[in-house]
Amino acid sequence: MNKFTALALAFLSGSAAAQTPATNPMPDGSRDMYVGLGLVSAARYEGAEHSERKALPVLQVQWSNGVFVSGMSAGMHLSSDPRVEFGPLVELQRRRDESGSGGGVDGMLMRYSVVSLPDAALSENRLTGMTPVATRLLGGGFLNAYLTPDWRVTGSLLYGAGNERDGARLDLGVQRLAMQAGAHHRISVAAGVSLVNAGYNRAFFGVDELDSLRSGHPVYRPGGGLKDAHLGLRWNWAFTPSWMLTSNLQLVRLAGDARHSPLVERPTNLTVSTAIAYRF
């Protein structure tokens, strides 16, 4: 497996999904690291009408023992079978308050502001009066299987989201691995869905009695089920063996009880990002 394929795999999942880069056999004691800087334009929170544009750091590290860090998630490959990947996974859930989301993950791209670029004035903020959702560390695992050398299905389950720490999210997807488009270009595509329990939907899309009094929204108690469907397109351009430009389009469509939340202004969100990364 070449480095372009391994790197592209980390970029394919949606921003809602924890990242699980492909296992990358390396000599004992070695590691593979990418760092860099880029820009992202994304919805202020899931279902927001307005976007925010931020500078962002880039990080991905894989060690020969199977441990990896990708954006704001980390895990470990335990399988010795190249057709199957599985292991434990943790992800840092970003805080959400009236100002939007404080950080996030899109493959290697850690959407955590170092410089915020100005937005148009917001005419409405549906999070005003809502209880902030605190930062949480989610724990679970992942399981990926290769249908062919170029296609794999992915799955991850994480638990502990929301202020009550009872939110669970199951991400399922299919990925077409890096397709060559010339000597230095690779294109990757992915599609998937996210399913959540009632605790997750209540945390991010629900409105309880106290929130209703403070925000003016009607009380809303969503159940679990399908939260969203998402599509992704990634383009990697390797200038040299060490330098790469990576750009991503991510389309997410909310569904089910999440879609009908009074907090949702627009059910479809588009994330656009581009970054330059250096391989050590």
Q: Is the pLDDT of residue 43 over 70?
A: yes
Mean pLDDT of the chain: 86
Q: What is the CA radius of gyration of the chain?
A: 19
SS3 259: helix
Tokens of 259: 């879609």
* Strand partners for 51: 43
Q: Is the pLDDT of residue 30 over 60?
A: yes
SS3 261: coil
Q: How many other β-carbons are positioned within 10 Å of the β-carbon of residue 37? A: 14
Name the least confident of 27-31, 222-226, 262-266: 27-31
Instruction: Give the rounded percent of residues in the chain with a pLDDT score beyond 90.
Output: 71
**DSSP letter, residue 222:** -
Distance CA 264, CA 243 (A): 39
Distance CA 272, CA 8 (A): 16
Report the pLDDT value the prediction gives residue 23, as an integer from 0 to 100: 73
47, 51, 56, 58: CA torsion to nearest 10: 50
Confidence label for 26 from pLDDT (cuts 50, 70 and 90) = low
Report the pLDDT value the prediction gives residue 7, as an integer from 0 to 100: 41
Report the pLDDT value the prediction gives residue 27, as an integer from 0 to 100: 66
- pLDDT tens sequence across 164-200: 999 999 999 999 988 888 889 999 999 999 999 999 9
What's the distance, CA 51 to chain centroid? 16
The one-letter code for the residue type at 265 is E
SS3 275: strand
- pLDDT tens sequence across 66-125: 999 998 999 999 999 999 999 999 999 999 998 876 544 344 444 444 444 444 434 468
